[in-house]
Amino acid sequence: MEKIAIKTTKRMEIVDLTSSVVSIVHKSGVKDGICVVYCPHTTSAIAVNENADPTVKQDIINKLAEIVPQNANYRHLEKNSDAHIKNVLIGPSITFIVENGKLELGTWQGVFFVEGDGPRTREVWVKVMAG
């Protein structure tokens, strides 16, 4: 298992992890199998989405803030319930196919870390398994 260190600078932020995950897959030497990208935090998540147009990331941030506003009379004392809810909606992990030593992504896809309660220092765990 490899770990990717992430330092976010905003409360809500999307960080592109694609090149780091591709590098880990290559370094693993696995030709055919799976790659799991997992976020061990309850206020952040992992997503796959378009990576060609950077405005998509901002659109996602804006819509998530609209759907799950930061201040909405939540009961949680830490005042970050919105980030917990966004984590549940997006999810903590994604599993990818590894074929011929390559991470299989669609033409426009990228792998993203979605911060919901930053700025923080985080990590993402990546496990590549032959199969």
Q: What is the DSSP string of 6-45?
A: EE--SSSEEEE-HHHHHHHHHHHT-SSEEEEEE---TTEE
pLDDT digits (tens, 9 = 90+) for 2-14: 999 999 999 999 9
What is residue 7's predicted lDDT score, i.e. its pLDDT?
Answer: 98
pLDDT digits (tens, 9 = 90+) for 86-130: 999 999 999 999 999 999 999 999 999 999 999 999 999 999 999
Q: What is the three-class DSSP state of 27?
A: helix
pLDDT digits (tens, 9 = 90+) for 46-90: 999 999 999 999 999 999 999 999 999 999 989 999 999 999 999
Domain of 81, in residue numbers: 2-130
Domain CATH code at residue 95: 2.60.120.460
Q: Alpha carbon 83 to chain centroid distance? A: 13
CA distance linking residue 101 with residue 86, whole number of Å:
33
The predicted model gives 23-46 an average pLDDT of: 98
CA distance linking residue 28 with residue 2, whole number of Å:
10
What is residue 77's predicted lDDT score, i.e. its pLDDT?
Answer: 84
Q: What total number of domains does the chain contain?
A: 1
Please say whether the beta carbons of 82 and 68 come within 8 A. yes
